[in-house]
Structure 1
Amino acid sequence: METSYLQSFMLVVETGSMAEAARRQRITAAAIAQQMRTLEKEFKAPLLTRAGRTVVPTPAGHRLSQSAPALLRELANAHTLVNSDGDGGELVVGTINTALHSLLPDILADFVKQRPRVKVFLQSAATRQLYDAILQGHIDAAVCLYPTFALAKTFDWALLREEPLVLLAPRHLAHLPPHELLRTQPLIRYDRNLGGGQMVDHYLRAARITPFERFELSSLVAIAMMVDRGLGVALVPDTALNLPDGQSVVRLPLPEATQARRFGVMWLRSSARLPLIHSMVDSARRVLAQANARGLPAGALKTRVNP
């Protein structure tokens, strides 16, 4: 199969026009039409149909348009690897937002020093979506939380951090016991649809605390900013978030044991990019080891104090 024909097909689907696809490719519309006929013979199915003045994919064409980007990327990566010394290639990394705003930039900084010729693509999503994306071959690995379900045996996992709950509070309230703050101050609730939010629910029930809930949201950065503005306190996982200097927020340990969410990297054991994935995991471990040697988790809240 001519990969250029597949690229033309994707352009036709994107623009809805063979003429526009031809213009972008700097070839004739007749040449594009011939390429599409060749693809339909190759796949033994009609791929495009007319809808008024536009061209749209058939059901078979829709399925091809969903799989073609990954196929084109694999072919491009194979071409790069064949024509290089093995240090190049591409890596598609999924990430949760917490990692994107904390550990991942440092991990990538280390990774590109080790693998300067690798091109990295990032996609942000929730852990469940990242798991599915790995299974479907859309991404190679994910920096995320351990799923709430058991990983399939085809997956591998590298634990990077364990994150128990802590209480975020305004600095001027740091002298008060955490449970007293939870009972007397408005609670900025971490989204209970998330694993961390469910940890909060379990802790509050076990401690028999029914707080006054003022807000509920999923962004840990936004929650910390709201605590800084005096809008309440928050129970959150002890993440490696790197917040701006000058925020008057403290992290208080809780008097009772809490669940810890597990943060790490997951990938398929059969991945064609295992050397690159292992290199990224090594970078992650180096970043965390260096941060631990300094006595702080990587990207930790700069306003952290111990009461």
Structure 2
Amino acid sequence: MDTAFLSNLLLVVDTGSMAEAARRVGVTPAAIAQQMSALERELGVTLFVRAGRTVIPTEAGHRVIERARGLVADFADLKAHALEGEATGELRIGTITTALLSLLPDVLANFAREFPRAKLLIRAGTSMELYDTLQRGDLDVAICLHPAFALPKAYDWHLLREEPLVVLAPARLAHEDPHELLRREPFIRYDRTLGGGKQADRYLHAARIVPHELFELNALMAIAMMVDRGLGVSLVPDIVSPMTSALSVARLALPVQTEPRRFGMVWQRASPRARLIQGLLQCADEAVAASLARGE
């Protein structure tokens, strides 16, 4: 039995469709369908039923999937153990989107130079999605926000960057009072289901500011671009990204100090990929130091 087929089986389950699983691994949907059919023939059971464009595991499929997760993880650990002492292997990284569009490209550039034989698989998601995926064993390391709860002792955390809340405004308004801007200008709200959006909402309530809300978005880069276009102002974590460096926006400090948003890396202490994780951590620290040296 090909372990790659089992890995793709789990991808079909997690994404809900063979087409999406095929897109993520870079093959055709027909190739994934053939792999699933091969597994069904070898196991002698039907694994899925179709419901429109999605697939739903059968009862037998659920039993196979439960065991397959352990088998795929065990095989990956076996491979890592076989390569112990060599800077090779596969490292599965989960990341929040803002890190992917800001710090992570520099981190990965450093890592590729230091570990040219390593393979990276990168998945984007919210911090909570990444925690859950890490706990299931489907990720080796997550680059995400620090959780609101204490991490279990089996996990390590390393802070990469702190981002205080700032008022994002068109450059022409750079010398105005940030609270006055929040009260007067159209307000582009950062999604309140996300950590930074919740923090911004708490600040507005504490400062007794009721903004004239224009719309609510879950993408910080898109918010920065809309502020650049003069659509309004926003209250967001102070991110640094090459994608925003050319924008004509001002980042105004708040008159009342707030707890910064913290993001970093979290991983299992007993991970068989500890050497690659430590290498990624060192590359991340180098990228952060270079960013600070540039005054970002």
Q: Partners of 1:67 and 1:95 in 2: how far apart?
A: 27
Shift of 1:24: 5.5
State the TM-score, normalized to the length of structure 2. Answer: 0.81
Name 2:235's counterpart in structure 1: 235
CA deviations on 1:228-249 (whole Å, 9 max, x unpaired) are 1111100000112222554211
Q: Partners of 2:137 and 2:96 in 1: how far apart?
A: 18
C-alpha distance 208-284 of structure 1, shift in aligned 2 (>3 A) = same
**CA RMSD for the aligned pairs?**
3.3
Shift of 1:179: 1.1
Name 1:167's counterpart in structure 2: 167
Amino acid at match of 1:252: L
Name 2:105's counterpart in structure 1: 105
Q: Partners of 1:256 and 1:50 in 2: how far apart?
A: 55
The question of whether the paired residues in 2 share the 8 Å contact of 1:8 and 1:21 is answered with: no
The question of whether the paired residues in 2 share the 8 Å contact of 1:148 and 1:195 is answered with: no
CA deviations on 1:39-66 (whole Å, 9 max, x unpaired) are xxxxxxxx427979xx985423234236
Name 1:299's counterpart in structure 2: none
SS in 2 for 1:75: helix
Q: Partners of 1:110 and 1:22 in 2: how far apart?
A: 34
Name 2:120's counterpart in structure 1: 120
Name 2:27's counterpart in structure 1: none
Amino acid at match of 2:243: L
C-alpha distance 79-49 of structure 1, shift in aligned 2 (>3 A) = closer
2:43 matches 1:36: yes
Shift of 1:94: 0.4
Name 2:82's counterpart in structure 1: 82
Q: Partners of 2:7 and 2:97 in 1: how far apart?
A: 34
Amino acid at match of 1:190: Y
C-alpha distance 238-278 of structure 1, shift in aligned 2 (>3 A) = same
Ranges in structure 2 where 5+ consecutive residues have no aligned partner: 20-29
Amino acid at match of 2:114: Q
CA deviations on 1:99-155 (whole Å, 9 max, x unpaired) are 111111111111121111110001111111111111100111100100122212221
Q: Partners of 1:96 and 1:201 in 2: how far apart?
A: 20
CA deviations on 1:264-293 (whole Å, 9 max, x unpaired) are 001111212111111111111111112212
Shift of 1:21: 7.8
The question of whether the paired residues in 1 share the 8 Å contact of 2:47 and 2:60 is answered with: no
The question of whether the paired residues in 2 share the 8 Å contact of 1:134 and 1:141 is answered with: yes
The question of whether the paired residues in 2 share the 8 Å contact of 1:3 and 1:72 is answered with: no
Name 2:46's counterpart in structure 1: 48
Structure 1 stretch 83-92 or stretch 232-241: which is displaced more?
Answer: 83-92
Q: Partners of 1:238 and 1:86 in 2: how far apart?
A: 38
Ranges in structure 1 where 5+ consecutive residues have no aligned partner: 38-46, 297-307
SS in 1 for 2:241: coil
Give the share of equivalent positions with the same residue, in percent.
Answer: 48
Name 2:68's counterpart in structure 1: 68
SS in 2 for 1:48: coil
C-alpha distance 278-63 of structure 1, shift in aligned 2 (>3 A) = farther
C-alpha distance 67-128 of structure 1, shift in aligned 2 (>3 A) = farther
Q: Partners of 1:99 and 1:109 in 2: how far apart?
A: 14
SS in 2 for 1:108: helix
State the TM-score, normalized to the length of structure 1. Answer: 0.79
Q: Partners of 1:120 and 1:90 in 2: how far apart?
A: 6
Q: Partners of 1:165 and 1:23 in 2: how far apart?
A: 47
Shift of 1:22: 12
Amino acid at match of 2:275: P
Amino acid at match of 1:267: W
C-alpha distance 295-139 of structure 1, shift in aligned 2 (>3 A) = same
Name 1:292's counterpart in structure 2: 292
The question of whether the paired residues in 2 share the 8 Å contact of 1:94 and 1:130 is answered with: yes
2:152 matches 1:145: no
Name 2:212's counterpart in structure 1: 212
Larger Rg: 1
Q: Partners of 1:9 and 1:179 in 2: how far apart?
A: 51
SS in 2 for 1:270: coil
C-alpha distance 214-274 of structure 1, shift in aligned 2 (>3 A) = same
Q: Partners of 1:3 and 1:112 in 2: how far apart?
A: 28
Shift of 1:70: 6.7
Shift of 1:195: 1.0
